[in-house]
Chain A
Amino acid sequence: MTATTFGWLVLLCPLVGMMIIALGHKVLPGTVPGWIATAAIALSFGCAIVMLVALLGRTPGHRQLTSSLWDYASSVGVDAKLQILVDPLSVFMVLVVSGVSTLIHLYSISYMKSDRGYTRYFAYLNYFVFSMLLLVLAGNFVLLIVGWAFVGAASYMLISFWYRRTTATRAGIKAFVINVVGDVGLVLGTFFIFTHTGTLDLLHTFAAAPHVFHRDSTDLVVGCLLLLVGAFAKSAQVPLHTWLPDAMEGPTPVSSLIHAATMVTAGVYLIARMHPLFELAPTAADVGAVGGCLTLLIAGTIGLAVTDLKRVIAYSTMSQIGYMIMGVSAGAYSAALFHLMTHAFFKALLFMAAGSLIGAMAGSQSLDRMSGFRRALPFTFACFVVGGLALSGVPPFSGFFSKDEILAYLNHRGGGFEIMGIAGYVGALLTGLYTFRMIFRAFLGDPCPEAKALEEGHIAHADHPVNPLTGEPEDTDVGFPGPEHRIAEREWPMKAAMGMLALLAVVGGALQIPGVDDAITRFLDPTFAGSRLAASEPSTTAAWVGLVIGAAIAVAGIAIAYRVWVLAPGTAAVVRQRLAPLYQLFVNKWYFDELIDYAIVRPVQWLGQMGETVLDRTLVSEVITGGTVSVVGAVSAAVRRAQTGFLRYYVALMLLGISGVVIYFLVSAGG
């Protein structure tokens, strides 16, 4: 069996899992749906491993395979097939997605246990994994767009999973609308490129691109910019990022899977996959890099100010994805994808640990209320620390190697990219700051009441469940979170998943240490073979210099955080007062929500209202419909006056008619 067969199997497993769970939801008892879902994804991961082995068994020049099951349309110049592309990049993404998904499914088995939507959750989650795998395995633009749309739909379904919560449904709609903007960009970008290359197949497009487009041709730049719109919407980059913090309304495993490890990386994958086009349109690539750079800085600053635990981690995700987008736009493909992988590990780990902490807090997510959980939640604390160190980029954790390699490449590329590299180091400082702000506030210090209760062995229980964002009371019925909360220390599936991820976060860096080995680069080489940007790499010395600087900055960040939040606890309040306007800017998320509200939402609402009152009610109903009706009525009333009922009147009309006919014949006969 070839690599592509296993490619199809990779797609099939989560689909079948979803079908079984969805169709059998009435008969599957207890936690069985969770185990079925996990098994399906684990099977998918297994097939991915086999796919990897099969691919490695081939010579490096022959590692881009396509397989097509069905021809949707192959006429009128359109060749749309049900086609997957198995090449190192897609296998890499499949491994990351399915591997992390398996662990998250495992985690969810116990995390969502008391939720009444348990089965629905796993069906949605499997559907999501299927869509994401479809996206990364797509061999032509059609399936890519299909996977893209499916992933957006799954994200919507999972964000508004607790559908009776107004905040959750609103967040879901917001995410979906911004995703649709991205979808439009993606489809339009595809059209721009398709009109010139004439093919929808990815490999053929890349082969044809250098012949059809010349460097920086307008159409290609516009097409790539539109693709960037899609990538930015999906990966929550400025200015299409406002949906990601609100998406934290979904259950924590959902945040961990979709909004940390997999879906938001789809934009990075898109740019990496379309690298031949982006390299032919450097303008678009530069725009992408600038966007990523801006995002990582903005998100970092906001992360310093917000107090909701999950939102801090969400902004951290946004910032790290900014690094990745900056990396792939600048040409550091393998470094950025390596960072994607390690980020998936430690971000998923951080979210899982956050889920455990939120469980201990009986659903509350506010950092202001958490403190001193170190003794009550030792395992969770350890996971947080491991994840935080990896995120900040402290050696020898994986994040250190991946993030700083991107920055080293940027510095190597020179010119404007060096400025972006420096911005990246500033971002690394911010990362260390906000990550350890979160950890120190939550775990060090005097234990809060929930922590004290937990040390004595009782998990805090909310008598009156409230919405953690608005505080409004809700209940634990269907459409709301269940009544019980789980912590990692007590549930072995959660412990197992977190442990696995922690291990990966620690040792994952070993895959690509500059000067020692470059497994990722070599593996991804066939995909990026034609790229001149990827061909030029920083020398080992330059790379190590960059890494050392990065490490120093990370440690400095952690040290500052320690001083501000542990050694001298009042410092934060003082800084906040002194830099009050800056603090306001950060806490209000740089006013992006308000900006979009004024610039887009209100005009659209006004347009809709005008459409309803002026166009629909007045023009259509009164003028056109009502007008027609009254005209017909008036005409028929006028005509009706001829029906007088007088017999002689009718006779007169008859005689008139007869005379008219006679006159006609008279005249026409030439009289």
Chain B
Amino acid sequence: MSAVLFFIAAIGAITGAIGVVMLRNQFYSVLALVCHLVSLAALFLLLRAEFVAAAQVIVYAGAVMVLYVFVAAYIGGNEEVPTRSGLRVLGPLLALALAIELCVAMLGTALKGISGKGAPYLPGFGTPQHIGRLFLTKYLLPFELASLLLLVAAVGAIVLARRRRGLEPDEELEARYHPRMPTWIGSMAEAGGITHYDEPPAAPAETETDTESTPEGAPIGSQN
């Protein structure tokens, strides 16, 4: 019985994963991931990790995915241009190689006991009581740090996504973020000596750029 359930859940998970990768519409990718997450929760249940499975459904599929859905809606499901040919072939190949390698690693090496069924089941394994006790005794520090991390992430997200100072017209924003300077100023490209790059079409050649570029603009590799 558990084997059947395992296979259903496993196939669901893998299908969801493939769906994420291969569906052209971003929205559909998000939904595929939701499906994948729920299958994964089933797998967790099979492994007697009740609390983790619940957390997976509630937090991951419930909250994080909702976030994804909102952002996908905001951004829009624009059609995506397929990748350049090089990486399009190489990517899956690399992934395949990685998969084979990991399987070989896990199944073929001296990881003994994998072929076994696992340790005997103790009642209360994976229950919230046990997990809670571990969190508050042995793993107290990671617990606290995780909460700190959540705070930092929340603040960071707000800072990143907020509008500046009220309702500014976007033209001013444009001017502030593209202050008539070529974008390659101060970049690694410029340090490497590449001085002609995409010029912003509306920016005329200004003298300000020269004062910035002369001290750092000396190309390396020139004869002394």
Interface of A toward B, CB cutoff 8 Å? 625-626, 629-630, 632-634, 636-637, 640, 643, 648-649, 652, 655-656, 658-659, 662-663, 665-666, 669-671
Contact = CB atoms under 8 A, between A and B. Distances in A.
Given A633-B221, A670-B110, A655 B101 contact: no
Contacts of B104: 666, 671
Nearest to A660: B101
B101 A648 contact: no
Interface of B: 83, 87, 90-91, 94-95, 97-98, 101-102, 104-105, 108-110, 188, 192, 220-221, 223-224
Contacts of B97: 659
A495 B91 CA distance: 109
Contacts of B109: 666, 669, 671
A648 to B, nearest CB: 6
Nearest to B188: A643
13 contacts: A625-B224, A629-B223, A630-B221, A633-B221, A634-B221, A640-B192, A652-B94, A658-B98, A659-B98, A659-B101, A663-B101, A666-B104, A666-B105
A640 B192 CA distance: 8
B216 to A, nearest CB: 16
A663 to B, nearest CB: 7
A626 B223 CA distance: 6
Contacts of B108: 671
A446 B125 CA distance: 140
A633 B193 CA distance: 11
Nearest to A633: B221
Nearest to A669: B109
Contacts of A652: 87, 90-91, 94
B177 to A, nearest CB: 19
B224 A629 contact: yes
A652 B188 CA distance: 21
B110 A669 contact: yes
A629 B101 contact: no
Nearest to A640: B192
A659 B105 CA distance: 11
B37 to A, nearest CB: 22
Contacts of B223: 626, 629
Nearest to A656: B94
Query: Does more than half of chain B's interface fall in helix, strand or loop, or is it mixed?
Result: helix
Contacts of A649: 87
A658 B108 CA distance: 19
A633 B218 CA distance: 13
B221 A666 contact: no
Contacts of A663: 101
Given A636-B221, A659-B94, A659-B97, 8 more contacts: A625-B224, A626-B223, A629-B221, A655-B95, A659-B101, A669-B110, A671-B104, A671-B105
Nearest to A632: B221
B87 to A, nearest CB: 6
A587 B171 CA distance: 96
Contacts of B91: 648, 652
Contact of A655 (B83, B94, B192, B224): B94
A614 B102 CA distance: 61
B101 A666 contact: yes
A648 B221 contact: no
B176 to A, nearest CB: 24
Contact of A636 (B87, B90, B94, B220): B220
* Closest A-B pairs by Cβ, 8 of them: A633-B221, A671-B109, A666-B105, A640-B192, A671-B108, A659-B98, A626-B223, A669-B109
A625 B192 CA distance: 21
A409 B197 CA distance: 97
A169 B192 CA distance: 54
B221 A637 contact: yes
A658 B188 CA distance: 26
Contacts of A636: 220-221
A636 B193 CA distance: 12
A149 B94 CA distance: 79
A3 to B, nearest CB: 65
A386 to B, nearest CB: 69
A617 B119 CA distance: 78
Contacts of B98: 655, 658-659
Contacts of A662: 101-102, 105
Contacts of A656: 94
B94 to A, nearest CB: 6
B190 to A, nearest CB: 12
B71 to A, nearest CB: 18
Nearest to B105: A666
Contacts of A659: 94, 97-98, 101
Contacts of A640: 192
A166 B163 CA distance: 82
A641 to B, nearest CB: 10
A357 B109 CA distance: 112
A625 B223 CA distance: 9
Contact of B87 (A643, A648, A666, A670): A648
A669 B109 CA distance: 8
Contacts of B224: 625, 629
Nearest to B97: A659
A593 B223 CA distance: 44
A440 B102 CA distance: 116
A226 B192 CA distance: 62
Nearest to B107: A671
Contacts of B110: 669-671
A630 B224 CA distance: 11
Contacts of B102: 662
Instruction: Choose among B87, B95, B192, B221 the residue with the greatest number of A CB atoms under 10 Å from its CB.
Output: B221
Nearest to B95: A655
B93 to A, nearest CB: 10
A658 B99 CA distance: 12
B166 to A, nearest CB: 33
Contacts of A625: 224
Contacts of A666: 101, 104-105, 109
A670 B105 CA distance: 11
Contacts of A648: 83, 87, 91
A352 B223 CA distance: 62
A637 B219 CA distance: 12
A649 B90 CA distance: 11
B33 to A, nearest CB: 19
A655 B90 CA distance: 12
A318 B224 CA distance: 54
A630 B223 CA distance: 8
B197 to A, nearest CB: 11
A80 to B, nearest CB: 46
Contacts of B188: 643
B69 to A, nearest CB: 24
Contacts of B105: 662, 665-666, 671
A82 to B, nearest CB: 49
A656 to B, nearest CB: 7
A157 to B, nearest CB: 40
Contacts of A630: 221
Nearest to B219: A633
A643 B193 CA distance: 14
B180 to A, nearest CB: 23
A643 B192 CA distance: 11
B192 to A, nearest CB: 5
A637 B192 CA distance: 8
A656 B105 CA distance: 16
Nearest to A634: B221
A37 to B, nearest CB: 53
A285 B154 CA distance: 103
